[in-house]
Amino acid sequence: MRSIDTLHFLVYFMLLFTVPKQVCSYKILMALLLESDSVHFFYTKIARHLIEANHSVTFLTFHDSSFTHPNFVNVNVMEGEPPLKGNAFDMVDFEGAIDIFYAEVARIGTRLWENQDNKKVFENRHEFDAIITSASGNSIVLPYAINFTGPLILIQNAGVEYIATAFSGNWLPPSVVPSIFMPYDEYMSFYERCMNLLDLWKFYHGEISSWYEFESSFLESYFPGIGDISRFYGQASLTLINGHHALDNPVPLLPNQVEIGTLNAHTPKPLPQDLEKFVASSGDHGVIYFSLGSYARSSDIPARAKMEFVEAFRRLPQKIIWKYEADDLDLPPNVLTRPWLPQQDILGHPKTRVFISHCGIMGAQEAKYHGVPVLAVPIAFDQHRNAARMVRQKVAISLSWNTVTADQIVDALNILINDTSYSERLRRTSAVLQDQKESPADRAVWWVEYVIRHGGAPHLQYPGQRLHFLQYICADVLLFFAVCTYFVYRLAKCILLYFLNWCLGKAKPQKTKIN
């Protein structure tokens, strides 16, 4: 009888330590709205990894989700057309892009703060252990941080970015960190450093200030007295940066600024049967993959440039897989178009030779992760900077939409395919990206848990965050020293002149009066 009891105890003991716990450790709110589909997918992957770690995630978004899990609640706060669904080529002009973003923020903000489901989540926000949002473009959700006692966590999806990093007090040197809107990499000439500094100054004191004034003014009608909405960014406990030193080049980061670049990348899966058949038919020539991502549509390419690409494809022996959303082209037989394609499965295929890309942050990372040379045709925003980095690293060739010709396309593709140095450099970069002590997803989850466990981890907050930029670079101290030096100089000069006058007066011979 005692042996049976002992057996029962051993079975119970083993089950106690082998059955996975189903209790959620933390409740996390992810509020991410003004993003493209690819960036939204990146955020969704973070949410899934948090759920796999037994946390509960409530996701404020503009998407319905096919993902279901007991620990996942998807709150679609948008009715009607999701944001950022216009023509990406309308954003080539910066001023036009800003106007589009202003209109989108007003539309999204109105629907967000008048949505009943969102109001319920907002009223119960103190039940969450942490709030995760974007480090830029999502200020409209920052009222969630009002009187919130848990940590605010930011995701910097465009990689290392000067303005977003500065909110934590980390003013990166503009001599080696290019503005997100400039077509430069970290190795800038004197002229480029001048232009970069002017752009950062203009952007920070012009567009950014106006942007936050607009959002603060908009939110004032819903939250009277809310004040400057950007101050909440400075209260963040952690910033997850979608970058890696092999992607963006090394820069000095704070302990609470953690790189998680290539979190979206994954090992390629087998292609669908019809697509695999098309790829296999390319023989030794291989295939070229053409995609402008989830926001820009190939069907919106300006007509002249579109015809140049079609003409170039006619001249190539390779097969072309093109993410194209319409059927308005007369295409040669070596071109296959689809409105959606499994991008990473194609990039990871051994027959893929070149990736024609606009160089969005996700596509640029995936090309490096899978080791595929890039023909870059950037459109707007950080894409020019991403393309400049890849050209400098000699893993890409860049062309302009305004001047591109079929001859340029063919010549560039032939160089990228036949010059093996491009693929060799990418193989080395790919090896570095895949040689990390933990996966970017595990790193992100661990740091989220860490700042929650330690009450926002105030010991990681940089003391320089409390300083104004002029104090940070000791401009006030240098000015004080300059003023002191000037007064010491003036005082010394006065003393010297007085002493000289006194000496000269003593040495002057006395005149004798003759009667």
pLDDT digits (tens, 9 = 90+) for 238-255: 999 999 988 888 888 999
Dihedral of the CA atoms 497, 499, 504, 510 (nearest 10)? 130
Q: What is the mean pLDDT of residues 496-513?
A: 72
Q: Are residues 488 and 352 in the same domain?
A: no
Assign 472 a pLDDT band (cuts: 50, 70, 90).
confident
Q: Higher model confidence: residue 284 or residue 380?
A: 284
Closest CA to 366 of 38, 37, 92: 38
Q: What is the mean pLDDT of residues 169-194?
A: 86
pLDDT of amino acid 447:
96
Q: Which of 41-50, 207-216, 302-311, 333-342 has the lowest mean pLDDT?
A: 207-216
Assign 429 a pLDDT band (cuts: 50, 70, 90).
very high
Q: Are residues 153 and 81 in the same domain?
A: yes
Q: Is the predicted pLDDT of residue 4 greater than 60, yes or no?
A: no
244 to 135, 263, 361, 430, 433: CA distances (angstroms): 17, 10, 12, 12, 8
Q: Is the predicted pLDDT of residue 390 greater than 70, yes or no?
A: yes
In this prediction the pTM is 0.85
Q: Is residue 12 part of a domain?
A: no
- Averaged pLDDT score across all residues of the chain: 85
Specify the CATH number for the domain of residue 223: 3.40.50.2000
Strands 72-76 and 287-291: unpaired
CA 225 distance to own-chain centroid: 31
307 to 87, 95, 412: CA distances (angstroms): 18, 28, 17
Q: Is the predicted pLDDT of residue 368 greater than 80, yes or no?
A: yes
Q: Is residue 199 part of a domain?
A: yes
Q: Are residues 248 and 118 in the same domain?
A: yes
What does the DSSP 8-state code read for residue 30? E
pLDDT of amino acid 15:
45
CB atoms within 10 A of CB 220: 13
Q: What is the mean pLDDT of residues 477-504?
A: 89
Domain count, the chain: 3
pLDDT of amino acid 96:
59
Q: Which domain holds residue 83?
A: 27-263+439-458
User: Among 6-10, 96-100, 168-172, which range has the highest average pLDDT?
Assistant: 168-172
Q: Which of 84-93, 128-137, 310-319 has the lowest mean pLDDT?
A: 84-93
Q: What is the mean pLDDT of residues 459-467?
A: 86
Query: What does the alpha-carbon distance between residue 322 and residue 418 come to, in Å, rounded to a whole number?
Result: 21
Query: What does the alpha-carbon distance between residue 474 and residue 323 come to, in Å, rounded to a whole number?
Result: 52
Helix and strand counts by DSSP (H, E) for the chain: 18, 13
pLDDT of amino acid 25:
86
Q: Are residues 404 and 480 in the same domain?
A: no
Q: Order across the sheet with 238-241: list the strands.
A: 72-76, 56-61, 27-31, 130-134, 152-156, 238-241, 257-259
CB atoms within 10 A of CB 297: 19
What does the DSSP 8-state code read for residue 238? E
Q: Which of 95-104, 130-139, 466-475 has the lowest mean pLDDT?
A: 95-104
Q: Are residues 305 and 407 in the same domain?
A: yes
Quote the Cα angle for 442-465-94, to 5°: 80
Query: What does the alpha-carbon distance between residue 72 and residue 463 come to, in Å, rounded to a whole number?
Result: 37
What's phi and psi for 303, nearest 5 deg?
-55, -45
pLDDT of amino acid 315:
94
Query: What does the alpha-carbon distance between residue 257 and residue 506 come to, in Å, rounded to a whole number?
Result: 70
Q: Are residues 173 and 198 in the same domain?
A: yes
Query: What does the alpha-carbon distance between residue 200 and residue 209 come to, in Å, rounded to a whole number?
Result: 12
Q: Are residues 166 and 253 in the same domain?
A: yes
Q: Is residue 509 part of a domain?
A: no
Q: Is 459 exposed, middle or buried (0-12, 13-18, 19+ CB in 10 A)?
A: exposed
Q: Is residue 114 part of a domain?
A: yes
Q: Is residue 510 part of a domain?
A: no
The SS3 call for residue 153 is strand
Alpha helices in 206-302 (DSSP H): 209-220, 245-248, 273-280
Q: Which of 106-110, 266-270, 299-303, 416-420 has the lowest mean pLDDT?
A: 106-110
Q: Are residues 336 and 354 in the same domain?
A: yes
Assign 67 a pLDDT band (cuts: 50, 70, 90).
confident
Q: Is 67 exposed, middle or buried (0-12, 13-18, 19+ CB in 10 A)?
A: exposed
Q: What percent of the chain has pLDDT over 70?
A: 88
Q: What is the mean pLDDT of residues 412-420?
A: 94
pLDDT of amino acid 227:
86
Residue at token pair 């000439």: 189
Q: Is the predicted pLDDT of residue 93 greater than 50, yes or no?
A: yes
Q: Order across the sheet with 319-323: list the strands.
A: 335-338, 319-323, 287-291, 352-357, 374-376, 396-398
Q: Is residue 513 part of a domain?
A: no
Q: Is residue 401 part of a domain?
A: yes
Q: Are residues 335 and 250 in the same domain?
A: no
Q: Is residue 508 part of a domain?
A: no
Q: What is the mean pLDDT of residues 343-350?
A: 94
Q: Are residues 280 and 361 in the same domain?
A: yes
Q: What is the mean pLDDT of residues 152-173?
A: 86
pLDDT of amino acid 17:
46
Q: What angle in degrees, to the nearest 10, is found between the helix axes of 209-220 and 94-113? A: 20
Q: Are residues 176 and 135 in the same domain?
A: yes
Q: Alpha-carbon torsion 229, 234, 236, 239, what sign?
A: positive
Q: Is the predicted pLDDT of residue 149 greater than 60, yes or no?
A: yes
Q: What is the mean pLDDT of residues 421-434?
A: 92
pLDDT of amino acid 109:
83
pLDDT of amino acid 53:
93
pLDDT of amino acid 164:
79
Residue range 431-455, pLDDT digits in tens: 999 899 999 999 999 999 999 999 9
Structure tokens at 117: 């489901």
Q: Are residues 53 and 87 in the same domain?
A: yes
Q: Is the predicted pLDDT of residue 18 greater than 80, yes or no?
A: no
